[in-house]
Structure 1
Amino acid sequence: MPRETLTRDQIVRAAIELLDAEGVEGLSMRRLGQRLGSAATAVYWHVGNKDNLLGLAGDQVWAEVDLPAPEESGWRAAAGALAHGTYAMLARHPWLVPAIGAHFLYGPGLARYQDHCYAVLEEAGFAGTDLDWAMNALFTFVLGTALNDSTEAAMKAQIRREGGDEQERLEEFSSWANGIAAQYPRLQARIAELGEGDQEELKAESFEFGVQTILNGLEARLAATADAPAQTR
């Protein structure tokens, strides 16, 4: 595809697809050019370099998260929906969390998302630094949970790049990890019990448990603040 017919939007969309399939390590201007049927130089001309492209891709995916109105559903339902929507977006793009840890990824998409998160928690009654800390408590949990998933996705992407047998390599890793856990009876017991259940169902239940526990804590914080004498606030 000649440089003149490419657009930045086309390049960013293709980069997101490549990142979803191969992770950050699999993203290169050469491979992206091949995907677009264009020379790598044409891609550079539109986005500058890999870091710029990663920033554009990382910011764009935040627009996928629906922003529920707290005045319609109530702050708690809106906060829960935001947490689930964020987690679902991060699951679709497992490269984003590790990329955030290694690159400065910020733009209008993330800023819009953050502003709405503040609006939801302001509706609950948080203000000042409590507003920041409430947001941090909820979304650090979401990002931390997504980090576990992204680690597995990165491992699978590496196996695909190296041309190995994905199932065989995962079984080897599981066997190695279980050998270490066997030295610790409580850990071994929990791994054994959790391994018997439906993993996707357990993952969903675990996430919901965490979200609801944090929301319960935020409600308790609001109640305690409201009940505190004015001079102690």
Structure 2
Amino acid sequence: MASDPKASPIPSVWARPQATTRVRPALSRSVIVSEAILMLDAEGVEAVSMRKLGARLDAAATSLYRHVALKSELMELAVDEVLAEVAQPTADHPDWRAALTEFAASFRATALRHPWLCTLLGQEGLAYLGPNLSKMNEGLFTLFSTAGFPDPTSAINAVYSYAIGMVSTESAWLNTVTRSGQTEAAFLTRLHPNSSATVSDTPDAVAIRDHNFAGALNIVLDGLAYQLNP
């Protein structure tokens, strides 16, 4: 009898090529949310659908609905998941201003990694009930209360409004730069063709954005400080 040419000449499992069949991970809410975040990071909110997400997970959209009932619920879960990356403000920080500066910087870094975050927060407001957002709100409230602010809720809203608004603008700018196919420095030079500066001596674009964020944040914090010492 002729031998099978695909068979291993050595009758051992270690000599036989391992099968490369894809093993689908067990479908769960955490798996679905993790994949949704990857889609959101790569394609944005409008590109995400339950059907496309199901295709990426090799599962029917109806299977996803067993874990997440609506796309809006999926967005809530994704928002709360990435908010876990934000460094939480500590209520016992000796300097409320320094604590807020650290918090705002961490929020900005997270939102720039996930450019859709501010879009969803801006559309839905801060009505999410997720544990990470709740923890963040509680930390800020305790920080402001401990510092002696007469209206901690308004102070929190001021910080959120500044951070979300500023990072939304910055994300839109970076998206425009990406679509141009140029570096940020080259794109800045293109916007100012009459300038005598060249790409090589254009100031560090990242440093400029860092400076703008910190400078405007200081103005917000000055306004908050006035609430303590009018």
Could you say whether these structures have the same fold, taking a TM-score greater than 0.5 normalized by the shorter chain as the test? yes
* Distance in 2 between residues matched to 1:32 and 1:117, nearest whole Å: 35
Paired residue for 1:198, among 193, 198, 204?
204
> What is the 5 A alignment of 1:177-216?
196-216=202-222
**AA of the residue aligned to 1:92:** R
Paired residue for 2:116, among 85, 95, 100?
95
* Distance in 2 between residues matched to 1:112 and 1:223, nearest whole Å: 28
> What number of residue pairs does the alignment pair up?
201
Q: Which has the higher contact order (CA 8 A, sep 6+)?
A: 1
1:106 and 2:149 correspond: no
The 1:101–1:213 alpha-carbon spacing in structure 2 relative to 1, beyond 3 Å, is: closer
Does the residue aligned with 1:84 lie in a helix, a strand or coil?
helix
Deviation at 1:21, TM superposition (A): 0.9
| TM-score, reference length from structure 1 | 0.73
* Distance in 1 between residues matched to 2:45 and 2:37, nearest whole Å: 10
The 1:125–1:86 alpha-carbon spacing in structure 2 relative to 1, beyond 3 Å, is: same
Paired residue for 1:46, among 67, 70, 93?
67
Deviation at 1:202, TM superposition (A): 0.4
> What is the 5 A alignment of 1:67-82?
67-82=88-103
Structure 1 gap segments, 5+ residues each: 160-165, 183-187, 225-233
Deviates more, 1:66-75 or 1:80-89: 66-75
Partner of 2:148: 125
Deviation at 1:156, TM superposition (A): 7.4
Q: Do 2:115 and 2:171's aligned partners in 1 also have CA atoms closer than 8 Å?
A: yes
Does the residue aligned with 2:203 lie in a helix, a strand or coil?
coil
1:115 and 2:138 correspond: yes
Deviates more, 1:105-114 or 1:83-92: 105-114
Deviation at 1:91, TM superposition (A): 1.0
Cα RMSD for the two superposed structures: 3.3
The 1:154–1:106 alpha-carbon spacing in structure 2 relative to 1, beyond 3 Å, is: farther
Structure 2 gap segments, 5+ residues each: 1-21
Deviates more, 1:208-217 or 1:198-207: 208-217
> What is the 5 A alignment of 1:147-226?
147-152=168-173, 166-167=180-181, 196-224=202-230
* Distance in 2 between residues matched to 1:155 and 1:110, nearest whole Å: 29
Of all paired residues, the percent bearing the same amino acid is 34
* Distance in 2 between residues matched to 1:100 and 1:3, nearest whole Å: 32
The list of structure 1 runs, each at least 4 consecutive aligned residues, that deviate by more than 6 angstroms after superposition, is: 1-4, 173-176
* Distance in 1 between residues matched to 2:203 and 2:70, nearest whole Å: 45
Paired residue for 1:141, among 156, 159, 162?
162
Q: Do 1:75 and 1:121's aligned partners in 2 also have CA atoms closer than 8 Å?
A: yes
* Distance in 1 between residues matched to 2:210 and 2:174, nearest whole Å: 17
More helix by share: 1
Partner of 2:48: 27
